[in-house]
Homo-oligomer: A and B are copies of this chain.
Amino acid sequence: MNRIITIGREFGSGGRELGRRLSEIMGIAYYDQEVITEISRRTEMSEQYIRHIMDQRPVISYPIHIGRHFMVSANPVLQQSQEVFFRQREILRELAEKSDCIIIGRCADYILADREPARLFIYADMKSKIRRCREKDPEENRTDAVLEREILKIDKGRAAYYNHFTGQEWGNREHYDLCINTTNCEIKSLAQRLSGMFY
Protein backbone atom coordinates (compact mmCIF):
# COMPACT_ATOMS: atom_id res chain seq x y z
CA MET A 1 0.00 0.00 0.00
CA ASN A 2 1.40 3.42 -0.90
CA ARG A 3 2.38 5.82 1.85
CA ILE A 4 -0.07 8.71 1.97
CA ILE A 5 0.36 11.89 4.02
CA THR A 6 -2.63 14.23 4.22
CA ILE A 7 -2.29 17.80 5.43
CA GLY A 8 -5.18 19.83 6.79
CA ARG A 9 -4.16 23.36 7.67
CA GLU A 10 -5.29 26.72 8.93
CA PHE A 11 -4.88 29.53 6.42
CA GLY A 12 -1.51 31.21 6.96
CA SER A 13 -0.07 28.36 9.02
CA GLY A 14 2.46 27.41 6.36
CA GLY A 15 0.88 23.97 5.92
CA ARG A 16 1.06 24.12 2.16
CA GLU A 17 4.76 25.06 2.15
CA LEU A 18 5.44 22.34 4.72
CA GLY A 19 3.78 19.76 2.47
CA ARG A 20 5.70 20.89 -0.60
CA ARG A 21 9.05 20.85 1.18
CA LEU A 22 8.30 17.49 2.77
CA SER A 23 7.50 16.01 -0.63
CA GLU A 24 10.81 17.33 -2.01
CA ILE A 25 12.81 15.89 0.89
CA MET A 26 11.02 12.55 0.73
CA GLY A 27 10.99 12.45 -3.06
CA ILE A 28 7.28 11.70 -3.31
CA ALA A 29 4.37 13.25 -5.22
CA TYR A 30 2.63 16.40 -3.99
CA TYR A 31 -0.97 17.30 -4.84
CA ASP A 32 -2.66 20.57 -4.11
CA GLN A 33 -4.17 22.68 -6.91
CA GLU A 34 -3.70 19.70 -9.22
CA VAL A 35 -6.82 18.13 -7.76
CA ILE A 36 -8.91 21.16 -8.66
CA THR A 37 -7.45 21.27 -12.17
CA GLU A 38 -8.41 17.66 -12.66
CA ILE A 39 -11.94 18.13 -11.29
CA SER A 40 -12.33 21.02 -13.72
CA ARG A 41 -11.16 18.83 -16.60
CA ARG A 42 -13.69 16.13 -15.72
CA THR A 43 -16.64 18.48 -15.24
CA GLU A 44 -17.98 21.57 -16.96
CA MET A 45 -16.90 23.81 -14.08
CA SER A 46 -14.09 26.37 -14.03
CA GLU A 47 -11.28 26.01 -11.47
CA GLN A 48 -12.36 29.28 -9.90
CA TYR A 49 -15.91 28.07 -9.44
CA ILE A 50 -14.72 24.77 -7.95
CA ARG A 51 -12.54 26.68 -5.49
CA HIS A 52 -15.55 28.80 -4.58
CA ILE A 53 -17.63 25.68 -3.92
CA MET A 54 -14.90 24.13 -1.77
CA ASP A 55 -14.65 27.24 0.37
CA GLN A 56 -18.08 27.09 1.86
CA ARG A 57 -20.75 24.94 3.37
CA PRO A 58 -22.95 23.47 0.66
CA VAL A 59 -26.47 24.84 0.62
CA ILE A 60 -28.77 22.24 2.08
CA SER A 61 -31.84 21.31 0.08
CA TYR A 62 -34.97 20.88 2.15
CA PRO A 63 -37.89 18.79 0.94
CA ILE A 64 -40.64 20.94 -0.49
CA HIS A 65 -44.16 19.98 0.46
CA ILE A 66 -46.41 19.79 -2.60
CA GLY A 67 -49.92 18.55 -1.90
CA ARG A 68 -49.46 15.27 -0.07
CA HIS A 69 -46.03 14.54 -1.50
CA PHE A 70 -42.58 15.51 -0.36
CA MET A 71 -40.33 16.51 -3.24
CA VAL A 72 -36.61 17.14 -2.94
CA SER A 73 -35.91 20.49 -4.53
CA ALA A 74 -33.62 20.40 -7.50
CA ASN A 75 -31.00 22.73 -6.14
CA PRO A 76 -28.34 23.17 -8.85
CA VAL A 77 -25.74 24.64 -6.46
CA LEU A 78 -26.08 21.70 -4.10
CA GLN A 79 -25.91 19.28 -7.01
CA GLN A 80 -22.71 20.91 -8.23
CA SER A 81 -21.27 20.80 -4.75
CA GLN A 82 -21.99 17.09 -4.54
CA GLU A 83 -20.58 16.56 -8.02
CA VAL A 84 -17.36 18.31 -6.98
CA PHE A 85 -17.06 16.12 -3.88
CA PHE A 86 -17.75 13.00 -5.91
CA ARG A 87 -15.02 13.90 -8.45
CA GLN A 88 -12.67 14.87 -5.65
CA ARG A 89 -13.09 11.43 -4.07
CA GLU A 90 -12.63 9.71 -7.41
CA ILE A 91 -9.42 11.62 -8.19
CA LEU A 92 -7.91 11.25 -4.71
CA ARG A 93 -8.45 7.51 -4.85
CA GLU A 94 -6.72 7.32 -8.21
CA LEU A 95 -3.76 9.38 -6.96
CA ALA A 96 -3.43 7.27 -3.80
CA GLU A 97 -3.34 4.19 -6.04
CA LYS A 98 -0.54 5.57 -8.21
CA SER A 99 2.29 6.24 -5.76
CA ASP A 100 3.34 7.58 -2.35
CA CYS A 101 2.10 11.13 -2.04
CA ILE A 102 1.30 14.18 0.05
CA ILE A 103 -2.14 15.72 -0.39
CA ILE A 104 -3.09 19.19 0.84
CA GLY A 105 -6.65 19.65 2.13
CA ARG A 106 -9.56 18.27 0.07
CA CYS A 107 -10.88 16.10 2.94
CA ALA A 108 -8.18 13.61 1.90
CA ASP A 109 -7.73 12.34 5.46
CA TYR A 110 -11.38 11.25 5.45
CA ILE A 111 -11.69 10.13 1.84
CA LEU A 112 -8.58 7.96 2.03
CA ALA A 113 -9.17 6.65 5.56
CA ASP A 114 -9.00 3.02 4.37
CA ARG A 115 -5.46 3.74 3.09
CA GLU A 116 -4.41 4.62 6.65
CA PRO A 117 -2.76 7.90 5.73
CA ALA A 118 -0.61 9.86 8.18
CA ARG A 119 -3.06 12.67 8.92
CA LEU A 120 -1.42 15.99 9.77
CA PHE A 121 -3.09 19.18 10.88
CA ILE A 122 -1.07 22.41 10.80
CA TYR A 123 -2.02 25.46 12.84
CA ALA A 124 -0.53 28.61 14.33
CA ASP A 125 -1.50 31.61 16.39
CA MET A 126 -3.14 34.56 14.63
CA LYS A 127 -0.14 36.89 14.89
CA SER A 128 2.03 34.35 13.19
CA LYS A 129 -0.55 33.65 10.46
CA ILE A 130 -0.87 37.36 9.69
CA ARG A 131 2.92 37.67 9.47
CA ARG A 132 3.10 34.73 7.05
CA CYS A 133 0.43 36.29 4.84
CA ARG A 134 2.45 39.51 4.66
CA GLU A 135 5.69 37.67 3.91
CA LYS A 136 3.99 35.75 1.13
CA ASP A 137 2.58 38.89 -0.44
CA PRO A 138 4.72 41.97 0.26
CA GLU A 139 2.07 44.11 -1.42
CA GLU A 140 -0.54 43.03 1.10
CA ASN A 141 -1.53 46.35 2.67
CA ARG A 142 -4.71 45.55 4.57
CA THR A 143 -4.66 46.20 8.31
CA ASP A 144 -4.07 43.38 10.78
CA ALA A 145 -7.72 43.53 11.84
CA VAL A 146 -8.93 43.15 8.25
CA LEU A 147 -6.47 40.32 7.59
CA GLU A 148 -7.56 38.54 10.76
CA ARG A 149 -11.21 38.69 9.69
CA GLU A 150 -10.26 37.35 6.26
CA ILE A 151 -8.22 34.47 7.72
CA LEU A 152 -11.06 33.51 10.07
CA LYS A 153 -13.53 33.66 7.19
CA ILE A 154 -11.44 31.39 4.99
CA ASP A 155 -11.00 28.84 7.77
CA LYS A 156 -14.70 29.00 8.57
CA GLY A 157 -15.43 28.08 4.96
CA ARG A 158 -12.90 25.24 4.98
CA ALA A 159 -14.33 23.91 8.22
CA ALA A 160 -17.91 24.10 6.91
CA TYR A 161 -17.06 22.19 3.72
CA TYR A 162 -15.07 19.57 5.63
CA ASN A 163 -17.65 19.13 8.40
CA HIS A 164 -20.49 18.82 5.89
CA PHE A 165 -18.94 16.08 3.80
CA THR A 166 -17.08 14.14 6.48
CA GLY A 167 -19.43 14.46 9.44
CA GLN A 168 -16.27 15.15 11.46
CA GLU A 169 -15.02 18.35 13.02
CA TRP A 170 -12.27 20.08 11.05
CA GLY A 171 -9.17 20.64 13.20
CA ASN A 172 -10.37 18.39 16.04
CA ARG A 173 -7.24 16.52 17.10
CA GLU A 174 -9.15 13.22 17.35
CA HIS A 175 -9.20 12.98 13.56
CA TYR A 176 -5.46 13.57 13.06
CA ASP A 177 -2.31 11.69 13.92
CA LEU A 178 -0.12 14.73 14.37
CA CYS A 179 -1.12 18.34 15.00
CA ILE A 180 1.74 20.77 14.50
CA ASN A 181 1.88 24.33 15.79
CA THR A 182 3.97 26.44 13.39
CA THR A 183 3.91 29.62 15.49
CA ASN A 184 7.42 31.16 15.31
CA CYS A 185 8.55 28.14 13.34
CA GLU A 186 10.76 28.10 10.27
CA ILE A 187 8.94 25.79 7.85
CA LYS A 188 12.08 24.73 5.98
CA SER A 189 13.76 23.43 9.13
CA LEU A 190 10.50 21.91 10.40
CA ALA A 191 10.07 19.96 7.15
CA GLN A 192 13.58 18.58 7.51
CA ARG A 193 13.02 17.45 11.11
CA LEU A 194 9.52 16.18 10.41
CA SER A 195 10.59 14.02 7.48
CA GLY A 196 12.29 11.66 9.95
CA MET A 197 8.86 10.79 11.34
CA PHE A 198 7.98 9.02 8.10
CA TYR A 199 10.86 6.60 7.66
- B-binding residues in A (CB < 8 A): 123, 125, 173-174, 176-181, 193-194, 196-199
Contacts and interface: CB of A to CB of B under 8 A. Distances in A.
A125 B175 CA distance: 10
The prevalent SS among residues of A at the interface is mixed
Contacts of A198: 193
A125 to B, nearest CB: 7
Contacts of A178: 178-181
Contacts of A180: 177-178
Contact of A199 (B173, B181, B193, B199): B193
Contacts of A173: 123, 173, 179, 181
Nearest to A190: B197
Closest 10 CB pairs between A and B? A196-B196, A179-B179, A177-B181, A193-B197, A173-B179, A173-B173, A178-B180, A193-B196, A176-B181, A123-B173
A121 to B, nearest CB: 8
Given A196-B196, A196-B197, A197-B196, A125 B174 contact: yes
12 contacts: A123-B173, A173-B181, A176-B179, A176-B181, A178-B178, A178-B179, A178-B180, A178-B181, A193-B197, A196-B196, A196-B197, A197-B197
A189 to B, nearest CB: 11
A125 B197 CA distance: 21
Of A177, A194, A199, chain B has the most CB atoms within 10 Å of the CB of A177
Nearest to A184: B116
Given A125-B174, A177-B181, 19 more contacts: A123-B173, A123-B174, A173-B173, A173-B179, A173-B181, A176-B179, A176-B181, A177-B180, A178-B178, A178-B179, A178-B180, A178-B181, A179-B179, A193-B197, A193-B198, A193-B199, A194-B197, A196-B196, A196-B197
